[in-house]
Amino acid sequence: MTENLEQQLRVAFAQKAAAISSESSARLRASDYHPRRHAIPSGRSVGAGLAVAVSLVIGIGLLLLLHSGARSKSTAATPTSPSVTQPVGTPAVLAEIHRQAGSLVGSDTAFTAELHALHGYPVIVIAWASWCQPCQQQSALLQAASRRYGNKVAFIGADTSDTAGKTFLANHALNYPSYQLTVKQLSSITPIHGIPITIFIDPAGNVVHVQAGKYLTHGTLSADIAQYALGAL
Amino acid sequence: MSRVRWSFDDFVNGYVDDLLRTAFLITWDESEAEDLVQECLLRVAKRWPRVRGMEMPVAYARRILVNLALDGRGRRSRNRRELDSAADRISPAYQAALDLPDLDAEADLDRLGQRSELVVALGQLTPQQRTVLVLRYFQDLSEAQVADILGCSIGTVKSSASRGLARLRELVSSPRQTEVAEP
């Protein structure tokens, strides 16, 4: 009974939260908060220098990763999951992803290689962690989306748990495969400010949208998929 | 766990919706929520060089936001809030929220009546009563995380959450007999 009310409460909050207009958030995004005005000048230039250095290192690292990834195509054999069904007409490369559902397929090298192999298809990278409650809460939405759009869009998990990811996957069936990455490795694609984060990559390999924080409704997730994944096709 | 340093703009873009919805659900008032989030982000911006190095900058922002919301800063009069909540029941935005086609369509049809009652009941709680519920069931934070944000003990979080749930159950189970007894 209590559990039931708690569940209904989650839905009621999500419904009410959806009533908020997009203008409020647009206004808040557009506001100028002048963060730099308050920064200590010397700290700022040091910070800027560091930022340039870090992005250079990340950039070079990414180039190297792409290079090695392209040469050593992922060959990791993965357990099949009989429960996963895929729509007829799924391209081979996406069908392979469905076959890898629920498993940890590799680390950052394999992940980079996979992104490379997926050029030509929109990719949605879902960063999660075993300890992340909001990740688990949005999991049902993403799984439904993966079932629905998996024949056109590649859904790939990025497990940023330190060690518990495998145990988590043993207890929770995900219908997409995951790669084990650190947040740092993942941020070679786009800045990562926290988990959950969902990254939309277009068929040309560019990050086109980043959802920071969990998805609250099927509606917002579907809208983003339509705009940033299917829209690119 | 490595920490990624990010820009304030990225932080705003990434979390403004999260903060805005949290404030909205606590205050039950969109323009008040917008004011609160703006004030909260101004404060975060002021301390950004320090905040950006934190493991969870958003946790810090949420703490500021909740404190602002419960502080009474920018809080409107009870009358105003009641008017708003009455307008809520028929406003197009509210109606649109109920008409959402998402969220397990089938189960929704079963419980839609009850759920919309629940939304109305939530609107009758005080912001204080709602805060714990918002943090626990909208943000899905643990009792310990909620205690950290509110600056109280886990025991207090547990008891306020169960009082809030009990009040909701009361409001939902007999809304018509008692009408709205809450002052």
CA A200 remoteness from chain centre: 7
For residue B2, the model assigns a pLDDT of 45
ipTM, 2 dp: 0.72
Of residues A47 and A185, the one with the higher pLDDT is A185
Q: Is B56 within 8 Å of A43 when comparing Cβ atoms? A: no
Cβ contacts of B119 within 8 Å, gap of 6 or more: A12, A15, A16, B94, B97, B98
Shortest distance, CA B37 to any CA of chain A (angstroms): 8
Residues of A in contact with B118 (CB under 8 A): 8-9, 12
**Is B33 touching A (CB cutoff 8 A)?**
yes
Shortest distance, CA B177 to any CA of chain A (angstroms): 21
For residue A51, the model assigns a pLDDT of 55
Which of A13, A212, A219 has the CB atom closest to B100's CB atom?
A: A219
Q: Per residue in B125-182, pLDDT tens?
A: 988 899 999 999 888 888 999 999 998 999 999 999 999 999 999 988 865 544 444 4
Q: End-to-end CA distance of chain B, in Å?
A: 49
- Cα–Cα distances (Å) from A126 to A77, A147, A181, A215, A220, in that order, read 22, 15, 12, 11, 15
Helix (H/G/I), strand (E/B), else coil: A210? strand
Helix axes B8-27, A2-18, angle to 10 degrees: 120
The percentage of residues in chain B with a pLDDT greater than 70, rounded to a whole number, is: 67
CA distance linking residue A43 with residue A35, whole number of Å: 13
Which residue is closest to A33 within chain B, CA to CA?
B42
Which residue is closest to B29 within chain A, CA to CA?
A20
**Average pLDDT in the B84-99 region?**
47
Residues B90 and B145: beta-carbon distance below 8 Å: no
Which of A34, A137, A197 has the CB atom closest to B140's CB atom?
A: A137
Cis peptide before A196 (omega within 30 of 0): yes
Which pLDDT band, with edges at 50, 70 and 90, does A137 fall under? confident
Name the nearest CA neighbour of A97 among A198, A172, A178, A165. A178
- By residue count, chain A amounts to 233
Query: Mean of the per-residue pLDDT values for chain B?
Result: 76
Which pLDDT band, with edges at 50, 70 and 90, does A153 fall under? very high
The percentage of residues in chain A with a pLDDT greater than 90, rounded to a whole number, is: 22
Cβ contacts of B99 within 8 Å, gap of 6 or more: none
